[in-house]
Amino acid sequence: MSTRPVLGIGVVGFGWMGQAHSRSAARIASLFPERSFDTALIVCGDNVAERREQAVSGVGFREAVEDWRAVVDHPDVDVVYVTAPNMMHEEIAIAAAEAGKAVFCEKPVGGTPDQTVRIEAAARRAGVITGVGYNYRWAPLVQHAKALIDSGRLGEITNYRGRFFSMYGADPMGLLSWRFLVDEAGYGVSSDILSHAVDLAHMLIGPITEVSGTRETFIRDRPLPKAGGTHYDRGQPGDPTGAVTNEDYAAAMVRFANGARGTFESSRAIIGPESQMAFDVYGTKGALRWNLETMNEMQVF
């Protein structure tokens, strides 16, 4: 019998991302045999009955509840995963921090910048451990790119180009899920996938001090979803529709604190790329290029 301490996990939101994190947490024991702790899937919160049943019978949570507060307040929960729609993050994450729980919050931390600032302040006041789902930082070649830049191999960095193109919203018959609604998701592609490209720029190049941007919505109406429908599901011509209220496309020109210039571009409604999250870094002595779609390859010049 193990004598390692047990880390109790609670998850709020059992949609696509909540399920991904829950299944990963269930595999910690097999993936990390050298770990100094054990984990237990304590409780999952979701407002859809079928997903609650799946959390227990399919993934192994001890229980599932409709009210997310029961996750935050559960005495056996040590860390709360916040994987609910973006505009719910603030209330859940702050409540979890104030309850003394460690908080892992999916990106974007808040649905708006102001929400993100308030969540960060609450976590600092509470002194809890936090994490955000910017997972691409840990791709082996992204780590290698960071090492090359820091070593001076590329010289002084002058230009950065970051982009994230995906076609998950390119189908006009894709349902009007919460991701397309500003009241539930906050910003659109800016928060959903462009934020990954910005995060890597912060890691690789440094802070951004100036921004000039543009955004656009190309598909302005989508079929209304039925219960439990996601943006991966399709409607049919003639179905009732509703208005898309956040952006499909965003781009920006930026200046970094070290003087480098950069550009960012992202679209969820572009045809072709499935998940083209890529960057180019240019310096006075060399350059490099990486694309998630061929994540084990990097060009160095």
50-107: per-residue pLDDT in tens? Answer: 999 999 999 999 999 999 999 999 999 999 999 999 999 999 999 999 999 999 999 9
pLDDT value, residue 28? 94
Own/partner pairs, 170-173, CB within 8 angstroms, 24+ separation: 170/268, 170/269, 170/270, 170/271, 171/234, 172/219, 172/222, 173/222, 173/223, 173/234, 173/235, 173/236, 173/237
Q: What residue ranges of the chain are covered by domains with CATH 3.30.360.10?
A: 137-300
Go through the chain and tell me how many residues it has: 301
3-state SS assignment for residue 192: helix
**Buried-state track 145-182, b at ≥16 Cβ within 10 A, e below 16:** bbebbeeeebeebbebbbbbbbbbbbbbebbbbbbbbb
User: Does residue 230 register a pLDDT over 80?
Assistant: no
Opening angle at CA 151, ends 146 and 153, nearest 5: 95
Average pLDDT rounded to a whole number, residues 225-247:
86
State which CATH number among 3.30.360.10, 3.30.1330.120, 3.30.2090.10, 3.40.470.10 fits the domain covering 137-300: 3.30.360.10
Dump strand ranges (E) for 13-113.
Answer: 38-45, 63-65, 79-82, 102-105
CATH of 6-133, picked from 3.50.50.60, 1.20.1260.10, 3.40.50.1220, 3.40.50.720, is: 3.40.50.720
Cβ-based burial of 207 (10 A; exposed 0-12, middle 13-18, buried ≥19): exposed
* Percent of the chain surpassing pLDDT 90: 93
Phi, psi of 172, rounded to the nearest 5 degrees? -60, -20
What is the pTM (predicted TM-score) of this model? 0.90
